[in-house]
Structure formats: structure tokens, C-alpha cells
Amino acid sequence: MNQPGRSLCATSWHARLLRAAFTPTLQPLALHALTIIPPSLAVGTEAVQEWEGVMAEEHVTLLKQGKQGVEAWNAWRRECPETRPDLGRADLRHMDLIGADLSGANLCQADLRGADLGYASLIEAQLCGADLRRANLRGARLNGADLRRANLGEADLSYADLSGADLRRADLSGADLRETELGTADMT
């Protein structure tokens, strides 16, 4: 399996892939890479949806590898800062995501119940409708995050930064908000 993200942001990978397709020893690798062609090169909606599904699965697989997965994920995010991972509706229950860079990620409707997101970067992440019950978000950076209709019941948000976050209709019942920075968060 290829490393998630390696083929997502390198602009020169297209040229390397085309050369590899004509090299017999690299042909199997090139054919595998063709299953993850970016939407800008794919033909038709079905190809785009298939590509997005493959990448979402690879993203979840990488994150499920615990601390090593988070380290590899963060390295990929540093290499590809413009990429917006799609983890919408992903099952990330009880996962160890301490310090993960999930900034700008789509986590709408994701199941993050009991996940450890301590000190994670969720800046401008899309968490609308996400289930974060009993999640550890201690010290997490959620600046500008979209948490509309998110369930944060009994979540640990102590020392988290929620400045500019959209918390409209979010369920914060029983959440630990000690020393939480709410700044300009919208809680209407």
C-alpha cells in the first residue's frame, strides 16, 4: 500500500507516474497509483468519488496506527499543508490522536466518541454533527472550527482554545470547560 498523502501533493508525481507506466518493472506500481488519481485529472464523477473513498480509507488506516500513525500523518501534513483531508463520517472511536494535525480536515458526522485528541490541532476543522462524547480535547486548538450540532457531552475541553469556533446548537452538557479559551466563539 502506498503512503497516504505522498501522491496527493507532489506536483511532479504525475510525470513520474507517466514514465513509470512505460517502464515494465514499475508498471504494477504505476497501475496502483492510477487508482488514486487526483480529481483534477480524473474523468467523470464516479472516478472522483472512487478516488475520494480510497483516500479517506487510507487516511483512517494511517491514523489507526496509533502514535506512529499520528507521527506519519503529521509529517505528511507538514509536506502537504494545502491538502484538506476528508474524514467525514469516519469511525475514529477511542483512537489515540494525541497531537494530530487535523487542521482544516472534514470531520463532519465523524464518530470520535472517547477519542484522545489532547493537544491536537483542529484549527478551522469541519466538525459539524460530529460525535465527540467523552473525547479528550484537553489543550486542543479548535480556533475557527465548525462545531455546529456537534455532541461534546462530557468531553474534556480544559485548556482548549475555541476562539472563533462555531458552537451553535452544539451539546456541551457535562463538558469540562476549565481554563477553556472561548474568545469570540459563537454559542448562540
For residue 31, pLDDT over 90 is answered with no
CB contact set of 110 (below 8 Å; sequence gap of 6+): 87, 88, 89, 90, 91, 92, 127, 130, 131
CA distances from 149 to 124, 146, 180, 187 (A): 16, 9, 19, 11
pTM for the predicted model, two decimal places: 0.76
Range in 10-14, 17-21, 42-46, 151-155 with the lowest mean pLDDT: 10-14
Query: Which three cell numbers mark 47?
Result: 472516478
**What is the reported pLDDT for 52?**
60
Is the Cβ–Cβ distance between 110 and 92 less than 8 Å?
A: yes
Q: Which one is the CATH code of 84-188: 3.90.550.60, 3.30.70.260, 2.160.20.80, 3.40.980.10?
A: 2.160.20.80
Average pLDDT over every residue of 155-170: 98
Which residue's entry shows cell 459539524?
128
pLDDT, tens digit, for every residue of 80-109? 988 889 999 999 999 999 999 999 999 999
Residue ranges, comma separated, of all CATH 2.160.20.80 domains in the chain are 84-188
Q: For residue range 119-155, what is the model confidence (pLDDT) as tens digits?
A: 999 999 999 999 999 999 999 999 999 999 999 999 9
35 pLDDT more than 60:
no
Determine the pLDDT at residue 66.
87
Amino acid, res. 24: P
pLDDT tens digit sequence for 173-187: 999 999 999 999 999
Q: Is the pLDDT of residue 157 over 50?
A: yes
Q: What is the pLDDT of residue 59?
A: 86
Q: Crossing angle of helices 45-63/66-79, nearest 10°?
A: 130
